[in-house]
Structure 1
Amino acid sequence: MALSKVLAERLFTHETLVHAISGAAGATVAMSLFYPLDTIRSRLQVEEGRESKSIVEMLRDIMESEGFEGIYRGLSPVLQSLWCSNFVYFYSFHGLRAVFSTDRGHSAGRDLMLATIAGVINVIVTTPMWVVNTRMKMQGAIAQYGPHDQENQSANYKFRSLLDGLITIYREEGVHALWSSTLPSLILVSNPSIQFMVYEALKRRCETLGIALSAGTAFSLGAISKCIATVLTYPLQVVDYRDTHFSTPIKEQRECGACWAFAPTEVMEAMRFGFRSAKVEKIAKSLSVQHLIDCSGVSYGCKGGDVCDAMDYLIATDYQFVLEADYLPYSAVKHSTCQRQVTPSANITIGQSTCEDFSKSEDSLLSFIAYHGPVVASVDATVWKDYLGGIIRYNCDAGPKNHAVVIAGYNLTHSPPYYIVRNSWGRSFGDNGYMYIATGRNLCGIADKITLLYPKYN
């Protein structure tokens, strides 16, 4: 049978269209009913400074400050996008299922493959819509800075409609911004794909055993399949090197501008433990930042400096890291000479270092963090002094770089997805020394200048 005839008879059918419309309509109705709760969830995730945390209090606060419109802000474009997204997914899945059907029926493996393909098609087609929806929903949200910082008190996106948002982002940020969350979305495709496969397999098993598929049974199968999918895909969606085994205690550079030394040292601590010391040490050990400042030969000291240049110098001189316990405690000053000659005890050096610009390909940066480990990011931290908590998702420009931090992971299950950033301003900063920056928009210039360190073990 010719391919065109197969497509005409199986892909473009009334049954496939009914499945797609039913799926889209069901999702749209459900979202319309529960949209206020979704708005509250998004606000609580972003506005951690709010005193009111309950659903009722949040509803009251939003309606008092923004009116009834506040709890339904962005509903229209969300419904449009949700309709398109579910229509594309269900049509793609059931259409492909019909095309590849055989006399032997359907199998779990085939369902997984087809669900994944349908999910990928859905992501590619509808990602720009969800980028606009996320920004529209947060119009009116409070930024996570100090109360005196009036300039950053509200999001500056005022899109009138879904189409207006698409056009505005395209004009002001370029076409790549519309697909900025493609990789996180593609990774998340695996979750519903596995869930659907497991659900279909369990449903077929029930049919084989003669168990009627009642509402309660269907609910139970759905819950079981979701749990299995989450367990299997969670490691891909959340990478977090803050685990106490990998991460040393948060450091505080104080008035010394030696972030150029702190960030690389902290990356090397995680690398050292993760790739070698875990066999003999139960937790990561701190390396000496003070030794790096005093004894490496890098002249920056407490005056600030370029991380890339500093790492090139350390490689050229084969600098040997030492454990913090073997040298002087950190004193926030650069001594004129190395204060103590010690035998390099950490058994690690920087074998190779490269500096890359990931501003146009943050998806590649996420992949590197997942498969390689923490990285050093040179950032514009001008507004960070007012950071109180939550996720920075706007009003943090990619200006001149004035600070260096560690990207210690990411979370793609959150809305919006975010980087986990380790700072060197003490535990009183942010979330016990960490902060969170939304992925996909190069906020604070976080992806402009990434230093990738490759350790060499002695």
Structure 2
Amino acid sequence: MKTLTGYQPTTRAPAHKALGFLHVQTMPQNLALPQDVDWRQHTPASNFVRTQGTCGSCWAIASANALEMHAELNGLGHEGVDYQDLVSCTPNLQHCGGDGGCSGATAELAFQYAKDVGVRLYAEDAGAMGAWVGSASEACGSHPGARITTEGFVRVTPNLAQPLLQAIAMQGPVVVSVDATSWDTYGSGIFDGCSKDARVNHAVVAVGYGQSPKGKYFLIRNSWGPGWGEEGHIRVLRFEDGPGPSGAYCGTDYHPEEGVACQGETQPVRVCGMCGILMDSSYPVGVRVSSSAGKGSTAQKM
């Protein structure tokens, strides 16, 4: 699973110290939210699914997806983000989520790189964005073309459903961490096959949420190609906060060092939601698309 999923850790001290970390999300608790949200309907140019292949680049692909969709939602162009730039160039000095590159990192580090340096954009169409994992042909940050940047990122309050729902509904797509160990056999429907004691090991994008006669769910875009699941997506069973049969679904990740921790972090961590989906999530803010001259426009929420 290490090469299939990539690593994706919690945002503990090393990630919190990143300059791009703005704050833990705080919103009113009883906010009225729509019953269904699907950002794919509003981002046609970004509505494609990548294939990570044997590279543990889920963190980079998920981050690129989020950056693209946030840029498109704010009218900043339709070029795709070159996620290979993230794979090759994102620093990972604390070994959060792995050793960097195809050995894993985190969405928070990717958003920090977008803030500090900017991620280059593709000139090609979306069809060119496959599982390219070659080494960078240019020094990191030296590409003369347009780049996408951010003012930083916001971490969603962990292990609660309502804050994540609010972030998706009010801010847009959110990168989330999950236990994808048993996802390989998923074909369709609402997935409920993870135990409470999830071992979080994969980064994906929550592009919406909804409900059906069979239950409520989070709508997730994966990085295993469009032929997997529901055209590259999976619906993950969604629990509410609080007691009762539909309430909190929480357990413990007993081995964070095997997939979710920064170097030296081995203490078990609390994980909530099906497949631990509520444990670690974040989204970029202040997205800009800048020219080679460094001029760009700041994304404003619509």
Give the structure-2-normalised TM-score: 0.64
Greater displacement, 383-392 / 430-439: 383-392
Q: Please state if 1:307 is matched with 2:107.
A: yes
Q: Residue 240 of structure 1: CA displacement?
A: 0.2
Q: Matched residue of 1:308: which SS? A: helix
Aligned-residue offset at 1:304: 1.4
Aligned to 1:293: 87
Of the two, which has the highest radius of gyration?
1
Q: Is this contact kept in 2: 1:379–1:398, CA < 8 A?
A: no
Task: Name the Cα RMSD after superposition.
Answer: 3.0
Given that residues 355 and 451 in structure 1 are in contact (C-alpha distance below 8 angstroms), is that contact kept between their aligned partners in structure 2?
Answer: yes
**In 2, Cα distance between equivalents of 1:310 and 1:247:** 18
The question of 1:345 aligning with 2:149 is answered no
Find the residue that maps to 1:338 and give its secondary structure: coil
The aligned counterpart of 2:252 is none
How far is the alpha carbon of 1:320 from its aligned partner?
Answer: 3.5
Q: Output aligned runs, 1:247-396, within 5 Å.
A: 247-277=46-76, 284-297=78-91, 300-315=100-115, 317-323=116-122, 325=124, 330-335=130-135, 337-338=137-138, 342-346=143-147, 348-359=148-159, 361-396=160-195
* Equivalent residue pairs, number: 220
Deviation at 1:292, TM superposition (A): 2.3
Corresponding position: 1:438 with 2:237 = yes
2:227 corresponding residue in structure 1:
428
- 1:303 & 1:311 partners in 2: Cα distance? 18
Distance in 1, matches of 2:122 and 2:90, equals 14
Tell me the amino acid that sits aligned with residue 448 of structure 1: M
For 2:146, the aligned partner's letter is S
Aligned to 2:35: 237
CA contact (8 A) 1:260 1:404 kept: yes
2:90, 2:109 within 8 Å by CA — same for their partners in 1? no
- The 1:251–1:264 alpha-carbon spacing in structure 2 relative to 1, beyond 3 Å, is same
- Checking the alignment, whether the CA contact within 8 Å between 1:376 and 1:407 is kept in structure 2 is yes
User: Within 5 Å, which residues of 2 pair with 1:63-102?
Assistant: none
Matched residues in 2 for 1:358 and 1:329: separation? 31
1:456 equivalent in structure 2? 287
- One-letter code of the match for 2:108? C
Shift of 1:430: 0.3
Partner of 1:62: none
Contact 2:63 2:175 in 1 (8 A): yes
- Separation of aligned partners in 1, 2:196 and 2:181: 9
For 1:237 and 1:255, locate their aligned partners in 2 and report how far apart those are by CA, in whole Å: 37
Alignment of 1:88-237 (within 5 A): 236-237=34-35
Q: CA deviation at 1:450?
A: 0.4
Is the partner of 1:302 in helix, strand or coil?
helix
Q: Which residue in the other structure is 1:190 paired with?
A: none
Distance 2:219 2:105 in 1: 23
Relative distance call for 1:394 and 1:386 in structure 2 (3 A) is: closer
For the residue of structure 1 that corresponds to 2:168, the secondary structure is helix
1:260 is displaced (CA, Å) by 1.2
Structure number with the higher helix fraction is 1
CA contact (8 A) 1:398 1:443 kept: no
Deviation at 1:391, TM superposition (A): 0.3
CA 1:427–1:339 in structure 2 vs 1: closer, same or farther (change >3 Å)? Answer: farther
2:95 is aligned to none
Aligned-residue offset at 1:398: 4.7
> Does the aligned pair in 1 maintain the 2:190–2:217 contact within 8 Å?
yes
